[in-house]
Amino acid sequence: MKTRILFGFLFFLLITGTTISLFGQEVKGTDEKTEKFDANAFILDHVADSHEWHLYTKQNGESVAIYLPVILYTREKGLNIFSSRHLAKENVYKGFKLEEEGDLKGTIVTVNEAGIADEKNLPLDLSLTKAVIGMISAAIIGLLLFLSLARSYKKTGISHPKGIQSFLEPVILFVRDDIAIPNLGHKYEKYMPYLLTVFFFILINNLMGLIPTPPPFGAIVTGNISITLILATCTFIIIQFSGNKMYWRHVFATPGVPFWLLPIMIPVEIISLFTKPFALMIRLFANMVAGHFVSLSLIALIFIFGSLILAPVSVLFVIFMDCLEVLVAFLQAYIFTLLSALFIGIAIQEEH
């Protein structure tokens, strides 16, 4: 037990030390250009999605990064595929430019011959960004885990769990017995594939986002509101298509409500259909982003005050936050899956 605690402490210390080292290298590289360390912009750049996987910044200010493929489509130019290195090193490439300021910061726009960006007609961006690479990696990891689990069951059958079984089987049984069955009843088997997919997809992405380097780790996938929107939309679609007569009667003809109140109640019930997935989206996004903001802010304190005296204190707080974020990673996957099952259960509830 003591050995496990020691290895766990060393692991988090390694992660924190790596993060501080990267911060230190980047700050040294930016000291020549700026007099004051801008923690706000620095943290936002780390949390936001990007067309490149930033590793560190040299002392001369040169950025070392893994540049990801850019895939754009416009009616005039057709399909364009090139490395994001061109957008980072050159101001304009093939009539495209990466906006660095304003509301479209981080968005690729088309530029005419006069150098004016067309902000109204944006190209269709199918680029492989950090978030996309993170999602693909999480999907591959999940696929490998469950294929390994399937092969294990095929060889040994239903027996005492060993290897990967001993880790995944209790989690799967937890999702089934504590989430699906209590909320969905005898119809739980129909929705188990979706619930398991959502749970492990969120969990794997949450854990991968806690490791700063190397790629594909460090991408804060669930801290991207577009991705949480899609996850919540999937739950919303399943709810609406699973809704029975009682569910829709409750929306358009609420039992026990006088007829003259229906013009007021129907809009309220329709709005409530959208507030449920909206709550799912915001809850997952806000909780995951908040943890990273706090951790990065604690590390940034060292460079804001320009003193290494704060380093041990910051490291201890960051280690504590890392431990807390591991708990939050599991907790948010559980909450999203639980609420999805709960909302679906309300839609398929049979009339008493």
pLDDT tens sequence for the chain (352 residues): 545 554 455 455 445 555 544 444 444 444 444 456 666 766 777 777 888 877 776 666 667 778 888 888 888 888 888 888 888 777 787 888 887 777 777 788 888 776 677 777 788 888 888 888 889 999 999 999 888 888 877 777 666 767 777 788 888 999 999 999 999 988 889 999 999 999 999 999 988 888 876 777 778 888 888 899 999 999 999 999 988 888 888 888 777 777 787 788 888 888 988 998 999 999 999 888 887 777 777 777 777 776 666 667 777 777 777 788 888 889 999 999 999 999 999 888 876 6
118 with 143, same domain? no
Structure confidence at residue 32 (pLDDT): 44
Q: Which two tokens stand for residue 4?
A: 């496990």
Does residue 58 form part of some domain? no
107 with 209, same domain? no
Query: How many residues are given for the chain?
Result: 352
Does residue 97 form part of some domain? yes
3-state secondary structure of 62: coil
Does residue 238 form part of some domain? yes
Structure confidence at residue 34 (pLDDT): 43
Structure confidence at residue 178 (pLDDT): 92
Place of tokens 């490791």: 211
Does residue 37 form part of some domain? no
* Residues contacting 157, CB < 8 A, separation 6+: none
114 with 176, same domain? no
End of a domain among 125, 140, 170? 125
135 with 91, same domain? no
User: CA-CA distance, 326 to 223, in Å (whole number)?
Assistant: 15
Q: Tally the domains of the chain.
A: 2
Does residue 296 form part of some domain? yes
229 with 134, same domain? yes
Q: Which two tokens stand for residue 240?
A: 């609406």
Compute, in degrees rounded to 10, the torsion defined by CA atoms 106, 209, 329, 283.
0
99 with 230, same domain? no
Does residue 169 form part of some domain? yes
86 with 205, same domain? no
Q: 243: domain range?
A: 130-347
Structure confidence at residue 176 (pLDDT): 92
End of a domain among 101, 125, 149? 125
Spatial contact of 138 and 208, defined as CB atoms under 8 Å apart: yes
145 with 108, same domain? no
Does residue 30 form part of some domain? no
340 with 275, same domain? yes
User: CA-CA distance, 117 to 102, in Å (whole number)?
Assistant: 12
**Buried b or exposed e, range 177-201, using 16+ CB within 10 angstroms:** eebbbebbeeebeebbebbbebbbb
245 with 317, same domain? yes
201 with 325, same domain? yes
User: Which candidate, 224, 177, 172, 161, places its Cα nearest to that of 199?
Assistant: 172
Q: Which two tokens stand for residue 213?
A: 């380097």
Give me the amino acid identity at 122: L
E-only strand ranges, 68-123: 69-74, 78-83, 96-98, 108-111, 117-118
pTM of the model: 0.81
157 with 85, same domain? no
Angle at CA of residue 259, ends 255 and 264, nearest 5°:
90
Structure confidence at residue 96 (pLDDT): 84
Neighbours of 303 (CB within 10 A): 22
Does residue 64 form part of some domain? no
